[in-house]
Chains A and B, each alone.
Chain A
Amino acid sequence: MATLIKDRRIVADNWLLSRRGPDGELPELPSRGEVIVPLGLWQAHRGDFLARSGALGVWLDSHEDPAAIASDLDRINLVAVNFPKFGDGRGYSIARLLRERHCYKGELRAIGEVLRDQLLFMAQCGFDAFALREDQDPDEALAAFDEFSEAYQTSFVQPVPLYRRRLPASRP
């Protein structure tokens, strides 16, 4: 099983990820709890899911719009965002939108091609859980979060940009 990093610790993962089929078809409705279902399944069976007891997760693919679950975020326990390729950067915007625009407070998990060298950017955008691709060395990956001690921009983890924090000026 792939390694999960949660809040910068390697933890056991109890969630089952329910993937689409090879041709994109939706999976069966899961019988047990703690399942992360594709957005399409959630949309098709929203009522059933809400009536069910137990924890529920929904995952978005990189082309899907986080606004689709915005009004249900207080009823979803976990949101995952898929990185179909590590170079597909849409997930970073999706994370910021979920956190900053839709005020999502629960676990936000990166899934798919989640590699060591992208973890810091993901964390800055609001991901707090990372299902590493299987070949990744988890201990090596943990070091990625501290590679940079500062960031210039506003982000989810640091909403105040650096320049507002380093005023007043230090002159050269």
Chain B
Amino acid sequence: MYIYDEIDQQLVNERVVQFRGQTRRFLAGKLSEEEFRALRLRNGLYVQRHAPMLRIAIPYGLLSSTQLRKFAHIARTYDRGYGHFSTRQNLQLNWPALEQVPEILAELATVQMHAIQTSGNCVRNTTTDHFAGVARDEIVDSFVWCEIIRQWSTFHPEFSYLPRKFKIAVNGAAADRAATAVHDIGLHAVRDASGEVGFRVLVGGGLGRTPVIGHVMQEFLPWQHLLTYLDAVLRVYNRYGRRDNIYKARIKILVKDLGPGKFREEVEAEWVHLKDGPATLVSEEIARIEGRFTRPEYAACPATDAVHDAALEADRAFSNWHRRNVHPHKQPGYAAVTLSLKKTGVPPGDVTAEQMDRIAGLADRFSFGELRVSHEQNLILADVRQSDLHSLWREAKALDLATPNVGLLTNIICCPGGDFCSLANAKSIPVAEAIQQRFDDLDYLHDIGELDLNISGCINACGHHHVGHIGILGVDKNGEEWYQIQVGGNQGEIRPGPGASIGRIIGPSFARAEVPDVIERLIDCYLDRRDSDAERFVDVVHRIGIEPFKERVYGNTDQRSSHRRRQLAAV
């Protein structure tokens, strides 16, 4: 955990006082709806379908058991006893009262937390790999760089009223587990021949209405220049990004309109003035930030544990869980564990206050009191001793957190959708549930192998449907909910194979009840066409294209036109 110093704490406290005053002025009629909106959003407060929604920041997805217990307390005291972990590694409360939000922020500040810039047209929470600091393929500990960016972006005076929201992701490992290619800025740590750290900088990626893979602006930006380069990119965006049309205001549109080459020139022209200026990073600062992170004190233990191995042999349910939910660790004798928030029947990412308290207990006993939120909406205990895995599994199972489906089809990423969100065109949670029910046979799921299935309830793509190997998008047609299916998306190069890519739509959309059948047909097609079980669904789509999948779903041309007729008749 990064531990605040006095100044970090003071700024968060001052933010609470500021927002308390703003809320008071709004309630007294001294601030208009529109003016207050801009202020409340940058404190995470939305006005939603049923009630306000508060999005609490979990910087780069890292939190302590103390903080999680505070969430549980807040969920019980100010809300309906549960919260929702989002794909931005944040926590959302769906029912707080506007008048009480300053109180909630004050409670959060006591455990070094806040809701700063979790919404609004500013730099949002920086996200990263949920295995940062423990991954075997680590290049740098991305948490350190995320914290540097957190400080740089917090209350940035020049970049607090950008044309639109701005999302940065940092990846510090060889595999890209942070989806850097689909962020406004993606930073991928690399080392040059001499071992010096730098960043490959991608700009202009994103999902939403116009999904784009980011363009490489720098192959190797030496770490000292990180902040001045970010300043240069943001200044070009702040000055020239479109402000006339909310749908064309993201940086990806500016990069596209100027062309990546011209955009790079603009940034370089700006950077010339900022490079080597006072914002240039120095190694003492990196060391200072590193020094403020607490580190687990690992016990020296053997890389293998005979009792653990025997349990794997003896207990099939345990070994199934181990196979999917336990991940390698750079420290011998330790492992990282995913606690699944994807049990069938529970909206993906939802956790009750009771579970939060229990999970905090698990973190204390098994993982040095820390946990992480993954952008796949699960929780991670990153530092578990191998010899503890069996006990942890039994307890996680009792809490319904041991669904052994990480990386599999039923580990669905899903936005809150039409059940909760005022932007949604369609419900997403019932679709996730129907698919999970259809694919409830674990052996079958394991046979299908790794598959990301992502669902968004509208074009804003909070459920990351564009980068699901199978993506489902809820659309509205004359007031009815329909679902468009795409295949071949990929969030990034997590293993050798296709890099980040945007899925392609297979054809006309479906009614909600048809969706599980469609998924089944896509899976059948994949199973028929794969070379071996090492070839994933997404690999097959990239190898053979979408046509065979299309044909399996819609049939030949005649069958397609009859599907179309049926659909038109239904509308």
Identify the A interface with B (CB < 8 A). Answer: 86-90, 92-94, 96, 101, 115, 117-118, 120-122, 124-125, 137, 140, 147-155, 159-164, 166-172
Count contacts on B: residues with CB < 8 A to the other chain. 46
Q: With an 8 A cutoff between CB atoms, is B285 at the interface?
A: yes
**Is B355 positioned at the interface, with any CB of A under 8 Å from its CB?**
no
In angstroms, how far is the closest chain A Cβ from the Cβ of B112? 11
Q: Which of B15, B157, B285, B294 contacts A155 (CB 8 A)?
A: B157
A124 to B159, CA, bound (A): 12
Min Cβ gap A110→B in Å is 13
**Smallest CB separation, B50 vs chain A (Å):** 27
CB-CB < 8 A to A94: which residues of B? 239
Q: Which of B155, B273, B294 contacts A172 (CB 8 A)?
A: B294
Among the 9-residue stretches B6-14, B191-199, B364-372, B460-468, the one with 4 or more Cβ atoms under 8 Å from chain A is B6-14
Docked complex Cα distance between A168 and B38 (Å): 37
Inter-subunit contact A147/B157 (CB<8 Å) = no
B158's contact among A87, A96, A148, by CB below 8 Å, is which?
A96
- Residues of A contacting B287 in the complex (Cβ-Cβ under 8 angstroms): 169
Nearest CB on A from B317, distance (A): 41
Kindly state the separation between the CA atoms of A20 and B158 in the bound complex, as whole angstroms: 27
Contacts A118-B161, A159-B278 given; indicate if A93 touches B10 (C-beta within 8 A).
no
Known contacts: A86-B38, A92-B157, A153-B279. The answer to whether A166 contacts B3 by CB under 8 A is: no
Q: Can you report 23 residue pairs joining A to B where beta carbons are below 8 Å apart?
A: A86-B161, A89-B121, A89-B163, A101-B273, A117-B22, A121-B161, A122-B157, A125-B158, A148-B15, A148-B155, A149-B11, A152-B11, A152-B151, A153-B152, A159-B278, A161-B279, A162-B7, A163-B285, A167-B282, A169-B291, A170-B5, A172-B3, A172-B292
The interface residues of chain A lying within 8 Å CB-to-CB of B161 are: 86-89, 92, 118, 121
Starting from the known contacts A92-B157, A92-B159, 15 additional A-B residue pairs (CB-CB under 8 Å) come to A93-B158, A93-B235, A96-B158, A115-B35, A121-B155, A122-B157, A148-B11, A150-B7, A151-B157, A153-B152, A155-B157, A159-B278, A167-B288, A171-B291, A172-B3
Q: Closest residue of chain A to B285, judged by CB?
A: A163
Are B156's CB and A153's CB within 8 A? yes
CB distance from A44 to the nearest CB of B (A): 24
Q: In the complex, what's the smallest C-beta–C-beta distance from B220 to chain A, in angstroms?
A: 23
Quick check: A148 and B14 within 8 Å, CB to CB? Answer: yes
Which one of B17, B39, B288 lies within 8 Å of A169 (CB-CB)? B288
Q: Looking at the complex, which one of B14, B155, B273, B292 makes contact with A152 (CB distance below 8 Å)?
A: B155
CA distance A154 to B235 in the complex (A): 14
Q: Is B352 among interface residues, defined by CB-CB distance under 8 A?
A: no
* A118: nearest chain-B partner, CB-CB: B161
User: In the complex, which residue of chain A has the Cβ closest to the Cβ of B235?
Assistant: A93
* Given A149-B14, A161-B279, A172-B292, A124 contacting B5 (CB threshold 8 A): no
Instruction: Given A90-B238, A93-B239, A172-B3, answer yes or no on A164-B285 (Cβ-Cβ < 8 Å).
Output: yes
Give the residue name and chain of the B residue nearest to A123 (CB): B157
Over the window 38-51 of chain B, the binary record of Cβ atoms lying under 8 Å from chain A Cβ atoms (1 yes, 0 no) is 11000000000000
A154 to B273: give the CA distance in the assembly, Å: 14
Chain A residues within an 8 Å CB radius of B38: 86-87
Q: List which B245-295 residues lie within 8 A (CB) of chain A.
A: 273, 277-279, 282, 284-285, 287-288, 291-292, 294
Q: How many whole Å from A74's CB to the nearest CB in chain B?
A: 20
CB of B18 closer than 8 Å to a CB of A: yes
Q: State A162–B285 Cα separation when bound (angstroms).
A: 10
Which residue of A86, A147, A160 is within 8 Å of B18 (Cβ)?
A147
The answer on a CB contact under 8 Å between A90 and B7 is no
What's the least CB distance linking B279 to chain A, in Å?
Answer: 5
Tell me whether A153 and B157 are in contact (CB under 8 A): yes
B7 surroundings in chain A (CB, below 8 A):
150, 162, 166
Residues of B within 8 A of A120 (CB): 157
Q: Which of A148, A152, A161, A168 contacts B288 (CB 8 A)?
A: A168
Once the chains bind, are B157 and A124 in contact (CB under 8 Å)? Answer: yes
B35 and A86 contacting across the interface, CB-CB below 8 Å:
yes
Query: B154 in the interface, Cβ–Cβ < 8 Å?
Result: yes
Q: Which residues of A contact B14 (CB under 8 A)?
A: 147-149
Q: In the complex, which residue of chain B has the Cβ closest to the Cβ of A170?
A: B5
Interface residue? B210 (CB, 8 A):
no
What residue in chain A is nearest B14 (Cβ atoms)? A148
List the B side residues contacting A140 at CB < 8 Å.
Answer: 25
Minimum distance in angstroms from A39 CB to a CB of chain B: 16
Contact A88 B5 (CB under 8 A): no
Cα distance, A30 to B202, chains bound together (Å) = 50
Determine the distance from Cα of A166 to Cα of B163 in the docked complex, in whole angstroms.
32
A100 to chain B: closest residue by CB:
B273
Of A121, A164, A169, the contact of B278 (CB 8 Å cutoff): A164
Given A153-B279, A171-B291: A93 in contact with B155 (beta carbons within 8 A): no
Residue of A nearest to B162 (CB): A89
How far, in whole Å, are A89 and B39 apart by their CA atoms in the complex? 14
Bound-state CA distance A163–B151 (Å) is 9
CA A88 to CA B249, docked complex, whole Å: 12
Docked-complex contact B35 and A154, CB < 8 angstroms: no
Bound-state Cα–Cα, A18 to B121, Å: 31
| Alpha-carbon distance between A150 and B536 when the two chains are bound, in angstroms | 51
Q: Quick check: is B438 within 8 A (CB to CB) of the other chain? A: no
CB contacts (< 8 Å) of B121 on chain A: these are 87, 89
Would you call B288 and A125 a contact (CB within 8 A)?
A: no
Residues of A within 8 A of B278 (CB): 154, 159-161, 164
